[in-house]
């Protein structure tokens, strides 16, 4: 094959893999998504309710659509990244019949019920639907380590996989139900906020004492690294409602939580987190669960 034939063949492959896509919503995240699609050579049409926000994408080679139906009609795959489920609903209503035969990839945050309602609306207009829960910040879009949890039909996910992988290298279809990736995302976030709040509370205590936080993180690294390894056994105990613990039972946690509470009060540091944890542990002890693992506290989260 000579050079000209090779160039021709490369051109054909590019043309073959090029898709017509639309991005609705050009906030920071939507703009990054449009940028990733453009960078991969896809014919990208963009729309934003305030049109000025489209300028960056247009400069990058995108076509600007004047209306939602125009944008939707231009894309086989329609990415939606706006603020809240109400804004998505409005877009789907404006799109109307243009949605038929398209695939909507909704990347808008919300609750699981909202994701399901959006999926129903899309299906009602004849569109296929995938929900994507993006787990990275804007500059992570397209990064090989960036995680996106998808929900939808396997066949739809597989068909659009090359496009979806442009959002992040660690995309996964976690369920057919579009509510599940939402639950995954908020579960990871809830664990993150728990961890960060615990750390910021500790940071308030340690810096009050003049301890350098970097030194603490270095010296406590083996203990901190072990914490994540507790989750599978806690999960197993919750899953099977088997909470009996030979060691590290709630009766052992109680005095330690009380120490943290007293230390916080001694130093004038916010005592609400240890006070809350102590109340959960004390209630479980009062209910006769002193010899149970910490996993027993799931009862308190289930029936507050």
Residue number with CB closer to a copy of itself (65 or 273): 273
Instruction: Count residues near a copy of itself (CB under 8 A).
Output: 101
> Taking CB under 8 A as the criterion, which residues in 211-240 touch a copy of itself?
211-214, 216-217, 219-220, 222-225, 227-228, 230-232, 234-236, 238-239
Using a 10 angstrom Cβ sphere, with 0-12 exposed, 13-18 middle and 19 or more buried, the burial of residue 92 is buried
The answer to whether 290 contacts a copy of itself (rule: CB under 8 A) is: no
The answer to whether 70 contacts a copy of itself (rule: CB under 8 A) is: no
Helix (H, G, I), strand (E, B) or coil at 65: coil
The answer to whether 2 contacts a copy of itself (rule: CB under 8 A) is: no
Which of residues 5, 154, 255, 286 is near a copy of itself by CB under 8 A?
255
The answer to whether 100 contacts a copy of itself (rule: CB under 8 A) is: no
Which of residues 10, 12, 270, 287 is near a copy of itself by CB under 8 A?
270
> Taking CB under 8 A as the criterion, which residues in 127-146 touch a copy of itself?
135, 137-139, 145
CA atoms within 13 A on the CB side of 88: 27
The answer to whether 84 contacts a copy of itself (rule: CB under 8 A) is: yes
How many Cβ atoms are within 10 Å of 25's Cβ, its own excluded?
Answer: 25
Alpha helices in the chain (DSSP H): 3-17, 28-39, 55-59, 68-73, 85-95, 112-124, 154-159, 161-164, 179-208, 213-219, 221-227, 231-240, 250-267, 272-286, 298-302
How many Cβ atoms are within 10 Å of 133's Cβ, its own excluded?
Answer: 26
Q: Which residues contact 112 (CB under 8 A, 6 or more apart)?
A: 178, 179, 180, 182, 183
Q: Residue with structure tokens 């002193």?
A: 290
Which of residues 162, 195, 242, 244 is near a copy of itself by CB under 8 A?
195
> Taking CB under 8 A as the criterion, which residues in 21-40 touch a copy of itself?
28
**Cα separation, 256 vs 45, whole angstroms:** 58
Which of residues 274, 284, 289, 292 is near a copy of itself by CB under 8 A?
274
Shortest Cβ 207–a copy of itself spacing (Å): 7
Residue number with CB closer to a copy of itself (18 or 111): 111
How many Cβ atoms are within 10 Å of 194's Cβ, its own excluded?
Answer: 11
6-14, 94-102, 158-166, 209-217 -> range binding a copy of itself (CB under 8 A)? 209-217
């Amino acid at each position: 094959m000579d050079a000209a034939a090779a160039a021709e063949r490369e051109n054909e492959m590019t043309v073959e893999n090029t898709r017509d896509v639309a991005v609705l919503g050009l906030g920071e995240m939507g703009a990054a998504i449009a940028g990733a699609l453009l960078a991969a050579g896809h014919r990208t049409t963009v729309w934003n309710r305030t049109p000025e926000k489209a300028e960056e994408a247009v400069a990058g080679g995108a076509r600007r659509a004047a209306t939602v139906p125009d944008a939707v009609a231009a894309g086989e795959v329609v990415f939606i990244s706006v603020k809240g489920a109400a804004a998505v609903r409005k877009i789907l209503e404006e799109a109307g019949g243009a949605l038929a035969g398209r695939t909507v990839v909704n990347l808008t945050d919300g609750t699981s019920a909202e994701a399901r309602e959006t999926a129903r609306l899309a299906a009602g207009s004849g569109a296929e639907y995938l929900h994507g829960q993006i787990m990275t910040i804007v500059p992570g879009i397209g990064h090989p380590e960036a995680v996106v949890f998808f929900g939808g039909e396997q066949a739809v996910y597989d068909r659009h996989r090359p496009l979806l992988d442009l959002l992040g290298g660690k995309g996964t279809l976690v369920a057919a139900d579009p509510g599940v990736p939402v639950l995954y995302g908020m579960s990871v976030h809830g664990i993150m906020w728990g961890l960060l709040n615990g750390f910021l509370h500790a940071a308030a205590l340690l810096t009050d004492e003049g301890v350098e936080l970097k030194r603490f993180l270095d010296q406590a690294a083996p203990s901190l690294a072990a914490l994540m390894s507790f989750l599978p056994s806690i999960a197993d105990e919750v899953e099977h409602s088997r909470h009996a613990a030979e060691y590290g039972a709630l009766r052992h946690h109680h005095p330690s939580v009380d120490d943290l509470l007293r230390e916080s009060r001694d130093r004038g540091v916010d005592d609400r987190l240890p006070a809350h944890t102590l109340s959960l542990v004390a209630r479980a002890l009062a209910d006769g669960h002193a010899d149970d693992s910490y996993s027993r506290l799931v009862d308190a989260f289930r029936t507050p």
